[in-house]
Structure 1
Amino acid sequence: MAGVFGQRSYRARFEWGPSGAGEIAPGAAFVVVVDVLSFTTTLGVAAEHGIAVMPYPWRDDSAATVAGQHRAELAVGRTAAGPDEISLSPAALRRVASRRPVERLVLPSPNGSAVSARFARTGTTVIGVSLRNARAASTWVRARLNGQPLAVVAAGERWPDGGLRPAIEDLWGAGAFLDGFDGLSPEAETAVAAYRAVAGRLPEALAASSSGRELAAIGFAADVAVAGEADVSEVVPVFGDGWFRGVMP
């Protein structure tokens, strides 16, 4: 049964979380990380403002140490952030970056950051995709793929017991990116079908999703609104030398 979950006979593959990524990423030229609420949306907003982002898997004392070593700012928890502090909130990052310069940011996230950091060390090109830049990212990858396989990973969220919670917004983001590619695995086809079902009403669907309602309930409805700005961005965060930096298609 070894390798049966790797979707190796397909050029465009899709799976969930770090474990799923480990199955489909080997041999892929690109690993596309999708974490709509909110790692890759915040990452995209940072890239639009020229901010280099280091993905970091853990929110603990080591994150502050790494940020200090690189003379970077550290994103704090959403609810702990002051008015001039950056967090995983894309709305807060947009607000802070419009008021003062930010050069480097260490962005902890147990989902999107963990997947990004893991596969950036393998020599595979890792990019961050959200609903805001899915079309631009697709264009950028198509121009460089040359028939090679790609792996699209929906980061998902976590249940209180630590298990993976498949988050519908990440399925939509993956489908938005994959829409129009050929050689789709059945899993990738399912992501595209899910995206097409809500493509004409993404902001409303996102706000109605479990993750959207969760954020709104704790006062971060603005983050859901930012994440629902479909295809407004032409910037693609690409990982290299330890940092995500924005490029244009």
Structure 2
Amino acid sequence: MFNQAPFSCRVEWGIRGAREAAERGDIIIIVDVLSFSSTVISALRQGAIIYPYPPNLDGKSFAEKIGAEYILGRAEAAKAGKPTLSPVSFKKKHYNKKYVLSSLNGAFCTWMAAKVPALLIGSLLNASAVASVANKLRLQSKANITVVPCGEQWNEVREHENSLRPSIEDYLGAGAVLSYLEGEKSPEAEVCIGAFQNAKEKITELIWECGSGRELRQKGFEEDVSHCSRLNIYEAVPILNNDHFVSAN
């Protein structure tokens, strides 16, 4: 059976990887660069309270139940002047307000892996900071660490096809986080780190031109792509506390 069992720092893709890491009892770092992870980090930095919620359940009803606002799609929210999955949409005026955030990738992976010793949110924005927190938690709990690049979903999936679309922005984000983690790395993690280190000097250009980056830019969200490509600009580290994120540092 496939596993990375001998190693304390691992990398696993998507919802399946998140579930298996949770079943092992690992510390999990969810990486969804464009844009769930970057949005949660940016929102936490502004003092907003984010409740992750899977898109296949009724997030609007959940938001009403807890007295939160359900986050709309990018275009719809932009017209209404509300915060959205766009990380740059969160401002100081959103301090201490509750928001329910659904997404096909990052929120879904978070939901799948919620019951673990610690679930952290990582991205390029906070790669060093989230790794520092994870290193401390590993020493305290003796648990292993799995970094989960979420990837994207293919549209119009045909019968017998897998819907996961691996994405370079999440792979590079995972490599950045892994590069700062302590402990023995699996071969899969070492290769992921190597990809990040090779791309580090041109990471902004690579994410700008990658498929996911171009997809967002074509929809008018160039600022999101630029923002999410920046390395280690924030110290904010979201950690899941029951059903919402709080600061881990």
The TM-score with structure 2 as length reference comes to 0.91
Counterpart of 1:221 in structure 2 is 222
Q: Does 2:129 match 1:136?
A: yes
Shift of 1:27: 2.7
Counterpart of 1:196 in structure 2 is 197
Counterpart of 1:242 in structure 2 is 243
The alignment partner of 1:144 has SS state of helix
Q: 2:102 and 2:153 mapped to 1: Cα distance?
A: 15
Shift of 1:83: 4.4
Shift of 1:99: 4.1
Q: 2:171 and 2:116 mapped to 1: Cα distance?
A: 25
Q: 1:76 and 1:195 mapped to 2: Cα distance?
A: 32
Work out which of the residue numbers 150, 154, 165 in structure 1 matches 2:149: 154
Work out which of the residue numbers 59, 62, 68 in structure 2 matches 1:66: 62
Q: 2:222 and 2:242 mapped to 1: Cα distance?
A: 34
Q: 1:98 and 1:33 mapped to 2: Cα distance?
A: 25
Does the 8 A contact of 2:28 with 2:116 survive in 1?
no
C-alpha root-mean-square deviation of aligned residues, in Å?
A: 1.6
The alignment partner of 1:54 has SS state of strand
Q: Does 2:80 match 1:79?
A: no
Closer, same or farther: CA 134–171 of 1 in aligned 2, 3 Å: same
Counterpart of 1:42 in structure 2 is 39
Q: 1:73 and 1:118 mapped to 2: Cα distance?
A: 22
Deviations 1:103-143 (A, max 9, x none): 111000010001101111x2331111010001000111112
Counterpart of 1:119 in structure 2 is 113
Runs of 4+ more than 6 Å apart: none
Q: Does 2:12 match 1:19?
A: no
Shift of 1:88: 0.6
Does the 8 A contact of 1:53 with 1:243 survive in 2?
yes
Give the residue type in structure 2 aligned to 1:173.
Answer: G
Shift of 1:100: 4.9
Q: 1:123 and 1:134 mapped to 2: Cα distance?
A: 20
Counterpart of 2:177 in structure 1 is 177
Q: 1:54 and 1:246 mapped to 2: Cα distance?
A: 13
Unaligned runs of 5+ residues in structure 1 are none
Closer, same or farther: CA 25–184 of 1 in aligned 2, 3 Å: farther
The TM-score with structure 1 as length reference comes to 0.91
Counterpart of 1:106 in structure 2 is 100
Give the residue type in structure 2 aligned to 1:150.
Answer: I
Q: Does 2:29 match 1:32?
A: yes
Shift of 1:77: 0.5
Unaligned runs of 5+ residues in structure 2 are 158-162
Closer, same or farther: CA 100–39 of 1 in aligned 2, 3 Å: closer
Deviations 1:183-206 (A, max 9, x none): 111111111011111112222121
Shift of 1:59: 6.3
Does the 8 A contact of 2:47 with 2:94 survive in 1?
no
The alignment partner of 1:26 has SS state of helix
Shift of 1:144: 2.0
